[in-house]
Chain A
Amino acid sequence: MQILDLDLTELAALIATGEISSREATKRSLDALETIGRDLNCTVSTYADEAMASAAKADQDLSRGLNHGRLHGVPMAHKDLFEVAGRLVAAGSKVRRDHRATRTASTMRRLAEAGAIHIGALHMSEFALSPTGYNGHLGYCRNPWNRDFITGGSSSGSAAAVAARLIPGSLGSDTGGSVRIPAGACGITGVKPTYSLIAKDGVTPLSPSLDCVGPLARTAADCALLLDVIAGPDASDPLTSHAPRVSYTAALGNGGLDLSIGVLPRRDLEGVDHEVLAILQDGIANFQNLGAKIVEADISSFEVINELNRAVLVIEAAALHRRQLVDNPQDFSPHVRGRLETGLYLPATRYFEAMSMRGKLAARFVEQTFASVDLLLLPCIPFPVPPISMETDGVSGTVTDDIVKFTRAINYLGIPAASVPAGFTANGLPASFQLVGRHFDETRILAVAHAYQQTTDWHRRRPAIV
């Protein structure tokens, strides 16, 4: 049995029954992060000694009948912005390279309470500020499907490590597409939840009004399992919603789809590459075969909302980093400084307007768009995953600007979305679509993604390096 081939759900089940030891699984993942992970530049650090000690304890506890939870003994590594007391957490930056956390993020605590073993920190864009995965200090993270291509970002290392079968799951963060874009570019499943569903304390912020923690894993079922563990109200983050805790895995189901899915009319798909369009069409046909009703939906306000997201993001990020911009500007990559500077020159009135209109625009979008459909099916990355040679080192350009065209507005609206692997383009890189729902409708999104993955194998394909 190839342990690293197992997805999160499978591995957790086999560890729980004692068929695989946590020590064996953890050792395999640690070795993979130190070899393939270093080669792909997705590994920032590993915690070998602590991880192996935790794994040994997990095995010992299990042998005495003590199972700590649904992730008992499962090795995981995460984007390098989740604080764990005593550990260095640099958020992909030079500015915070010596930052040692004094608290533990609620999400990390919940994973640990469910039995997960935290084995390392992963590559990310500097302060989560590049959707392509570029990092001026760490270099490019390499796509496991072809190391000359971008991973997408900013949760670049999480997506690359899961896609390369180094770890079965990871947490990232998403402010304008930072979970969905790398998941899409690397051929795995990623979820950006409803704003406020998951606690964000102890997570290095980019833009607190937009940031969401989200899981990246191979399957929708794996993401559902991770949401079961980390979603829900938490006293450590008073902004978390008091929506009832639900079981995302229990809602997955196995049957047909008795619902309607909204797709975009041609005019709203202008600029989407023909290969990506063909893959979307295949996805639509698959959903029809599963029993879903397909209807046209209107998201013409997306472009406007994208701009509001950009304003909120750059202003909040600029405010968070202003002091360091004054004191240590040389410690920021030029493209990060450039983006932060944008926020310094926007008037406070624009920020207040953007934030004040948010409730009205979100309510209107949900009422209008979801009046006749249950979910939306949108492109994720609107063109084939580009080679690193086309990237402009994070500086605003075609790739950086267009890659977020269908993801950014979703953060401003606060609604949930998942990116789901749906095929491959001619360059051999994965392509994905997004399933988007009403606030707190993650159960439906994951159930539909799961149904799709029962009839396709895109999420099961392995990169040649594995």
Chain B
Amino acid sequence: MNTERPDDALLAMQGLENAEWTGQGIAGLAYRTNDRVRAIADLEMDLALSPADFMIVLDASARRAEADADSRS
């Protein structure tokens, strides 16, 4: 796994330019996660999507649960 210290400019953007680097394979893990999420986004992402969609899905589910509860009572 890639354990090299990330680019100094990237560290500086986080205020970590002077920070000690743990070197626990973290850079490799970040690259792997980045690549996998990007690959999923290549397939699934589109302009119509928004982070608010999830709460809308939950809200619709809550309404359905309420209707189900009403129909049982």
- Which A residues have a C-beta under 8 Å from some C-beta of B? 194-196, 239, 241-244, 246, 304, 307-308, 310-311, 314, 322, 325-326, 329, 334-335, 337-339, 341-347, 350, 352-363, 366, 395-396, 414, 438-441
Contact = CB atoms under 8 A, between A and B. Distances in A.
Contacts of B56: 359
Nearest to B1: A396
Contacts of B27: 345
27 contacts: A195-B58, A243-B61, A244-B66, A304-B36, A307-B33, A308-B40, A311-B37, A314-B33, A326-B14, A335-B24, A338-B22, A338-B25, A342-B26, A353-B40, A353-B41, A353-B45, A356-B51, A360-B53, A362-B54, A363-B57, A366-B61, A396-B25, A396-B29, A414-B54, A439-B58, A439-B61, A440-B64
A344 B40 contact: no
Given A322-B15, A361-B44, A355 B51 contact: yes
Given A322-B15, A357-B45, A345 B58 contact: no
Chain B at the A interface: SS class: helix
Contacts of A326: 14-16, 19
B69 A329 contact: no
Nearest to A338: B24
Nearest to B44: A357
Contact of A337 (B22, B45, B58): B22
B52 to A, nearest CB: 8
A178 to B, nearest CB: 19
B71 interface: no
A234 to B, nearest CB: 14
Chain A at the B interface: SS class: helix
Contact-residue bracket for chain B:
35 or more
Contacts of A355: 51, 54
Contacts of B50: 356, 359
A358 B51 contact: yes
B26 A441 contact: no
A334 B24 contact: yes
Given A308-B37, A344-B14, A439 B62 contact: yes
Contacts of A396: 24-25, 29
A326 B25 CA distance: 20
Contacts of B14: 322, 326, 344
Given A350-B33, A396-B29, 9 more contacts: A241-B62, A322-B15, A350-B41, A357-B45, A358-B51, A358-B54, A362-B57, A366-B61, A440-B64
B25 A346 contact: no
A344 B17 CA distance: 12
Contacts of A343: 30
Contacts of A322: 14-15
A118 B55 CA distance: 33
Contacts of B36: 304, 307
Contacts of A341: 21-22, 26, 30
Interface in B1-50: 6, 10, 14-16, 19-22, 24-27, 29-30, 33-34, 36-38, 40-41, 44-45, 49-50
